[in-house]
Amino acid sequence: MLSLTRCAGQSIQIGDNTRVKVLRIEGGTVVLGIQASDDVAVHRLELYRRLKEPVPSVTVVDPTGKPSLRSSLARFFRPRKTASQ
């Protein structure tokens, strides 16, 4: 691992298309700005790890025993409020 020391306002260049800049330092927190090409995904490490976790498969079955598309999709969409609600 390469270890670098940078002050606020200074940057490092990674390859031809990625630049990391120290925007400011607030107490024990370093605020970074990352400039990368659109084909480079940039995530916080904890989010990246969650994105790589396998997604559990869920199948909802209606009382007739057939999978219900509506009930399967219901967990992804919130019901719309009507004017009377």
Q: Identify whether the C-beta of residue 2 lies closer than 8 Å to the C-beta of residue 14.
A: no
Q: Helix and strand tally (H, E) in the chain? A: 2, 3
Q: Are 4 and 11 in contact (CB under 8 A)?
A: no
Q: Residue 24 corresponds to which tokens in the numbers above?
A: 């400011």
Summarize pLDDT for 9-41 with one digit per residue, the tens. 999 999 999 999 999 999 999 999 999 999 999
Residues contacting residue 14 through CB under 8 Å, at least 6 positions apart: 20
Confidence of residue 65 (pLDDT cuts 50, 70, 90): low
Phi and psi at residue 71, to the nearest 5°: -70, -30
